[in-house]
Every structure is written in structure tokens, then in C-alpha cells.
Amino acid sequence: MQQSAFNRDKESTLPSVSTAGTSTDALIVEIDTLYRDHHHWLFAWLRKKLSCQHQAADIAHDTFTRLLSLSHLPCLQEPRAYLVTTAKRLLIDQTRKQRIEQAYLAELTRAAEAIDGFPSAEDIAAVVQILDKISQILAGLAEKPRQAFLLHYFDGLTHAAVAAQLGVSDRMVRKYLVQALVHCHQFHIPD
């Protein structure tokens, strides 16, 4: 006998949340019974159809979640047929969503390629690697030299603007920048 997903207590069919006297009590009891009686079967059926245990588990879960969103459960003479129909509709929705996402991504790729000077995927990956390396190198710097370096070289601020933001003199900003550049030079890897 399978245990309910709503409450793991022995032989309990109601969830621990008190909803006494409401129509949701009856709905939860019905879905709980449906879950205990048919979840394993639905999961096995989906696993066989989809050839993927994880996707089958997701769709089985979503099927019962869809049932929980109903205000009332229809009278089910064939509960397995109802569960299969619900699962199939979820699969259709999922397939439609994937097609839309793929078409959107394909269109974004086409639009990006049409723009002159748009970086390729390889260029973007190379820049990300370089930025990651810079981040690792800068992590070894003291806070103020690191901030001065980032503000000046990445944000494009002047020495005076960096000094104002850090609350130090222009001369101190120059020292911080020299410190940061010397630190970065120590990690320079020739091409």
C-alpha cells in the first residue's frame, strides 16, 4: 500500500492542515485516495511512455498538482483514464512550451547574427573566462585597491571621481591603481 503524498502518518487520509467542515475536505480526501491508489501506476505508465524516469516523475507530480487546483473533482468511473488524459494534456502543454522556447531562441540567435559586430558564442565564452580570471586575481587584493581598480578600469571613472567615491586623495588612488596593476602583473600568463 502506498503512502499518501499529503500526510505520511499511518492510515491518515487528511492533511495536517485543519479544513474541517469545508468542501476542500472532501476534495482532498478524494485526491488523497486517488493518489494512493493510482500514483504508482501512473508513474510506471509515464516512465514506459517517456523512457525517462525524471520526466515521468515530473509529469505524474504535475498531474496531481493540476487535480489539486480544481474546485471539485468530477465523478470518476475510470480514474486511470482521467489521470492519463490529464497527463497527456500536460505533455502537450510542455511540448508546445518547448517549441515556443526553441523558436524564440532561434529567432534571438538569428537577430544577434544579423547585428554587425555582435560577438559570437566563442567570443562571449572567452570574455567570461577572462573576467573570471580577473575576478580571481582581484580577490587577492585589499578592498580599496580592488575598488579603485574596478571603478577606474571597468566603470571608467577618473582618478578624481574614484577618489571622491572612496574618500581618499587623488594620489592615494594612483597608489591603489599601481598596487592593483603590480598585483595583476604577477599573475600575467603569456599567450
pLDDT value for 50? 93
pLDDT value for 188? 67
On whether the CB atoms of residues 14 and 32 are closer than 8 A, the answer is yes
- Residues with Cβ within 8 Å of residue 27, at least 6 apart in sequence: 70, 71, 72, 73
The rounded average pLDDT for each run of 10 residues, N- to C-terminus, in the chain (191 residues) is 41 38 75 92 95 95 90 85 94 91 86 77 85 83 90 92 94 94 78 52
Cα–Cα distance, 43 to 56 (Å, whole number): 6
For the stretch 19-23, contacts whose Cβ atoms lie closer than 8 Å and that sit 24 or more positions apart, written own/partner, are: 23/72
Nearest to 49 by CA among 90, 77, 79: 90
The amino acid at residue 161 is: A
Nearest to 83 by CA among 116, 61, 113: 61
Cα–Cα distance, 106 to 95 (Å, whole number): 16
pLDDT value for 25? 80
For the chain, count helices (H), then strands (E). Answer: 7, 0
pLDDT value for 2? 45
